A = this chain, B = another copy of it.
Amino acid sequence: MQTEEEILKIKKVKNTAVRTVVLRHLLSLEKAQSLKDIENALAYTDRSSIFRTLKTFEENKIIHSIEDGSGMTKYAVCAEGCNCDPKDLHYHFYCTNCDKTFCLFDVPIPKIQLPENFKLQQANMVVKGLCDNCNK
């Protein structure tokens, strides 16, 4: 597992106080976080600074965003070596009971046979249901 400093260095994003704390926070949790989640967790960091940090991280492929239908965009740290290309596609799981959203890096995504002449660039794949913890 890379540290936040290593990731910022690799992705050539300057290390600042806000960036370090936001990235560290995202790395510390397995669950994808919304802007509000982060704002609540980092009580002394301004919302707009976190917002701009997330934009910077996304542009530089440090994190990716997930639209899970909850009304708030969630963010998760990219896997090592991720370039946010079609090859980095993976499902996300949204638990309808505990509201946890996370990347299913281990579930293989089958090749999607698009209609003739369509070109795949990205995808937002959110599978919804009950997580193992809630399905009891």
Contact = CB atoms under 8 A, between A and B. Distances in A.
Contacts of A121: 96, 128-130
A112 interface: yes
Contacts of A124: 67-69, 124-126, 128
Chain A at the B interface: mostly helix, strand, loop or mixed? Answer: loop
Contact of A119 (B112, B120, B129): B129
Interface residues of A, number: 33
Given A115-B132, A123-B127, 9 more contacts: A67-B69, A69-B124, A93-B118, A114-B127, A117-B132, A118-B129, A118-B130, A119-B130, A121-B130
Q: How many copies does the complex hold?
A: 2
Given A67-B124, A125-B125, A126-B125, A115 B119 contact: no
